[in-house]
Structure 1
Amino acid sequence: MLRNRITNSIFVLRNRNFSVSSSLSTDKQNVPSYRQLSEVQKRKLDEDKEKLIWRNKPLDQPYAFKSKFNVFGGDELEPSSLSMLVQPIDASPRGIKKWWKDYKVRKERFSQQFIPERHEILGSDLAAAHFLLFRKGKVKFIGQDWLEMNTEKDLMVPLPNKFNPHYEIEAIKCDNMVLYYEGLENIRRLRKLRYLSFKNVKTFDDWCLDRVSGSEFEKLEVLDISDTNVTANGLQALYRISSLKKLIVTHPETENPQWTLTLAMLQDIFPSLEISSSNQI
């Protein structure tokens, strides 16, 4: 009996699917083409198309300005690249100097980008150590002394070239480094990190601090952001680091009301947080 019921159900479903597909194919055949439409229907269809023209990309609009340089880059051309093509070249000594400075910044930003393969082979700790030591930072592994590059001979510190669980970073000094936002992606998921310093890193700002606060430093206790471009707005991101015990800033006694209020709010969230000035160290 059960087998007969299942067989009947399958038969019914097949007939239902066949009828639905047949109706769809019939409806599709009954759809008239554009040539078969009347003049009134064609005019109504054209009006509807004009109403939906806002969906097009900016450069696809019928009245959009299109430069002759568009053939080189299309609508994917970046604003910076477009301005370089359209604007006249400043060949003055000041203009050349500015161009060279901007070029070096773009090159350094590109070189600091995150490389997934490096972290897959080395792991987070060794990958961060290779990245920082190459840029003259300082790293300390658990049970070892501080490591840094020999600036006189420009020699790298010998480190393993594959993952080693015995190398775990507990302290980092990025003092005086040229470290951009892109490079901070290489300093993440350091589970044993307790000390982190960005002292006198002029490229370190609120956005950088926000990235650091979300970098999964579970045991970070001391953070030095003195002599950086961090403002009171950037300090608000520190609420994510619940393990923080000491914050080193440039002027904790500043007269800026917003700065003072933000520091007070941090101490209210973390009662044991100590805020000190770099001058007191």
Structure 2
Amino acid sequence: MAISYSRLIQLRLAQKCFQRSCRSVSRQRPIAASSQISKIDHKKMIEPEKKEDRVIYELPKVHVEEKKTALALFSSDTNYGIKVIEVINAIKFTPYGIRQAWDIFQEDKLLRSQVYIKERAEFLGPELATAHFLCYRGGKVRFHGQEDWITQDPDSDTLTSLPKFYVGSYKVEAADCSKMTLIYEGLENMKKMENLKWLSLESCPYIDDWCLDRISGEYGDTLEYLDIRNCPLVTDKGIASLSKMKKLKTLILGGHPEAKNLELVCLMLEDILPEITIRGIVYCDTSLLKPNEANE
């Protein structure tokens, strides 16, 4: 059947129109979906989203190494090399700077060696804890009702004569701390002793006014004998603080270069404490001086 030329052109135009209509339909989005999206966007523009006022914990991101060697056991995230450099830079490499750094190191070491151990006092009691503290550092103690002093054997590191458990009958009556490097913080280990009557601090280089004030406040009702000879840091103020010790009967002085008015302070102590006997002090006899010299 033969088709005319005009009919062929009409069929070709109809085919192109059909193809264009298919393309336009495929490009269009669904009407319901597009309207819903536009509605949601419009709502967000009108009412912004509200954030909750609470903190949400997030797990830290941990970097897990896939491969580890035996040397990874000795690795660390801290750069200790930088810390060593900071310490070295803080030291002045001069004779004075090195000496100062060494003194600071020794003071810190001494402080750590005399720190108060609460567990020891709770386990042994304050009396035996004080005895262990003093004897292990070269001191001596004597308990109530005993005549022998207890000290550490220089050839041994243990104290066989001191109990290592709580015994209520052991009460420290006398403590000899002569030539010990006892500091103010170490006195925390010598408290709550109810029967302490005799105490010697002779030649203790770190005993100062603060230490004497603490001792007088702790043992003002029990201590009867006190020896503070050759304590170079003690001044008039420290000796004057001993006036709080109402039962003090014997006080031994001498070797206090910083005490400028020692005689005057001792006269004051004798007025406040009538039963006290002060040794090591020689009063100037003003009766032998001329009137002008006595006024001076």
The TM-score range, normalised by the shorter chain, is 0.5 to 0.7
Partner of 1:276: 279
In 2, are the aligned partners of 1:188 and 1:217 still within 8 Å (CA)?
no
* Among 184, 187, 209, the residue aligned to 1:206: 209
Structure 1 residues 202, 257: CA separation in 2 closer, same or farther (over 3 Å shift)?
closer
Instruction: Give CA deviations for 1:205-242 in whole Å, capped at 9, x if unaligned.
Output: 10111111111453210000110021111112112211
Q: TM-score, normalised by structure 1?
A: 0.63
Indicate whether 1:178 and 2:168 are aligned. Answer: no
Instruction: Give CA deviations for 1:17-70 in whole Å, capped at 9, x if unaligned.
Output: xxxxxxxxxxxxxxxxxxxxxxxxxxxxxxxxxxxxxxxxxxxxxxxxxxxxxx
Which runs of 5 or more structure 2 residues have no equivalent in the other structure? Answer: 1-85, 283-296
**SS of the residue 1:275 aligns to:** strand
Indicate whether 1:189 and 2:192 are aligned. Answer: yes
Structure 1 residues 216, 195: CA separation in 2 closer, same or farther (over 3 Å shift)?
closer
Structure 1 residues 117, 155: CA separation in 2 closer, same or farther (over 3 Å shift)?
closer
Structure 1 residue 121, shift from structure 2 partner: 1.5
**SS of the residue 1:265 aligns to:** helix
Partner of 1:156: 159
Which runs of 5 or more structure 1 residues have no equivalent in the other structure? Answer: 1-83
Structure 1 residue 110, shift from structure 2 partner: 2.0
Residues of 1 paired with 2:145 and 2:281: CA distance? 27
* Among 238, 243, 246, the residue aligned to 1:239: 243
Partner of 2:227: 224
Structure 1 residue 158, shift from structure 2 partner: 3.7
Instruction: Give CA deviations for 1:92-131 in whole Å, capped at 9, x if unaligned.
Output: 4553343233212212112212222221111111010011
Q: Decide which structure has the larger Cα Rg and report it.
A: 2
Structure 1 residues 261, 217: CA separation in 2 closer, same or farther (over 3 Å shift)?
closer
Partner of 2:132: 130
Partner of 2:115: 113
Percent sequence identity is 39
- Give the number of equivalent residue pairs: 194
In 2, are the aligned partners of 1:187 and 1:215 still within 8 Å (CA)?
no
In 1, are the aligned partners of 2:229 and 2:254 still within 8 Å (CA)?
yes
Instruction: Give CA deviations for 1:240-280 in whole Å, capped at 9, x if unaligned.
Output: 2111001000169x9x762211111111011110000299x
Q: TM-score, normalised by structure 2?
A: 0.60
Residues of 2 paired with 1:197 and 1:93: CA distance? 37
Structure 1 residues 115, 155: CA separation in 2 closer, same or farther (over 3 Å shift)?
closer
Aligned-residue Cα RMSD (Å) equals: 2.6
Residues of 2 paired with 1:156 and 1:93: CA distance? 42
Structure with greater helix share of residues: 1
